[in-house]
Amino acid sequence: MKTILLIGIGPGDPDALTLAAIKAIGRADVFFFLEKEGEGKDSLIRFRQQILQTHRGDQSYRTATVALPERDRETAGYVGAVEDWHRRRTALIATLIDTEMAEGETAGMLIWGDPSLYDGAIQHLRDLIESGRADLSFEVIPGITSIQMLAARHKIPLNRIGESITITTGRQIEQADPASITNAVVMLDSRAAFRRLEGAGDVDIYWGGDVGGPDEILIAGPLDAVADRIERAIALQRARKGWIMDNYLLRRRPQPS
Ligand SMILES: C[S@@+](CC[C@H](N)C(=O)[O-])C[C@H]1O[C@@H](n2cnc3c(N)ncnc32)[C@H](O)[C@@H]1O
């Protein structure tokens, strides 16, 4: 049997690693690095290497790095392109397992934030096992998500008493009916989709850029009042270091009864 550990490492704060993650890091014979081209690649690699240095010390381990295929952004069908991309990534992981692990070994994959939130690794491994790989098992070690870090940094609860929370993407929030939003956490927004909700009048935003990391920026307030400032902060961070990861909570203010 070969075992893969999907280890959530939090969203950029080395102190946000859990004890379970540190123990799992100690168990792996080899670490797989699946590197995405593009924004932030080098810093994300550096962060993972720092974690290994800190928590493996002198204990030796192997690493195997592959470049992840880019998603086809030209083709019109978004779902088809994502499915194809997932298939190619699954095949790459299968190759790493076949070529970089001996029978009985354990591999670690350091997953940004938590593996259950907008990350493909769990599905890739489920697909491999369902396709007949009886020699394989995997474990998920949860991490602090960028959403938890956002709420902690702003010192807010994600919902007020009894309310629902939606977790969604920039792509989806652009299509959403503004009236349907009570508490919406938005991720994967590369085009400042919050601007679409300006003028709704009673929406607050709690925005975070690179939360938990050394370049963290936090801005909160009525959406109409702070939207410009947020867009400027995004542009500034991109100009300064080439990339930014941001997320935010949109919250409708209670209506006067
Ligand atoms: C592919 S998803 C991965 C999410 C991750 N698994 C998690 O648990 O947070 C990447 C998105 O997460 C959000 N994100 C990740 N790290 C972040 C950070 N440090 N600060 C703000 N947003 C972050 C951004 O919306 C980014 O586009």
* Percent of the chain at pLDDT exceeding 70: 96
Which of 7, 146, 171, 218, when mutated, tests ligand 1's pocket best, judged by the most ligand atoms within 8 Å of its CB?
Answer: 146
Question: How confident is the model over 228-253, as pLDDT tens digits?
Answer: 999 999 999 999 989 999 999 999 99
The predicted model gives 10-32 an average pLDDT of: 97
Handedness of CA 17, 191, 118, 201 (dihedral sign): positive
| pLDDT (0 to 100) of residue 74 | 66
Superfamily name with CATH number, domain 2-144:
Tetrapyrrole methylase, N-terminal domain (3.40.1010.10)
Q: Does domain 147-252 have CATH number 3.60.20.10?
A: no
Which atom belonging to ligand 1 lies closest to the Cα atom of 111?
A: 6
Å from CA of 11 to ligand 1 middle: 7
Helix pair 19-27, 41-56: axis angle to 10 deg = 80
User: Worst-scoring range by mean pLDDT, 12-16, 76-80, 120-124, 217-221?
Assistant: 76-80
Rounded CA-CA distance 35/68 in Å is 6
Which of 13, 44, 216, 247, when mutated, tests ligand 1's pocket best, judged by the most ligand atoms within 8 Å of its CB?
Answer: 247
What is the full DSSP assignment across 131-156? TT-TTEEEEEE----HHHHHHHHHT-
Burial code (b: 16+ CB inside 10 Å, e: under 16) for 46-58 equals: ebbeebbeebbee
Tell me if 211 CB under 6 Å of ligand 1.
yes
Question: How confident is the model over 95-141, as pLDDT tens digits?
Answer: 999 999 999 999 999 999 999 999 999 999 999 999 999 999 999 99
Name the residue ranges covered by the structural domains of the chain. 2-144, 147-252
Q: Dihedral through CA 35, CA 101, CA 47, CA 185, nearest 10?
A: 70
Question: How confident is the model over 46-70, as pLDDT tens digits?
Answer: 899 999 999 998 789 999 999 887 7
Å from CA of 205 to ligand 1 middle: 17
Closest alpha carbon to 219 in 149, 145, 150, 146 = 150
Q: Dihedral through CA 20, CA 26, CA 28, CA 29, nearest 10?
A: 180
| pLDDT (0 to 100) of residue 84 | 85
DSSP-H helix ranges across 201-249: 223-241
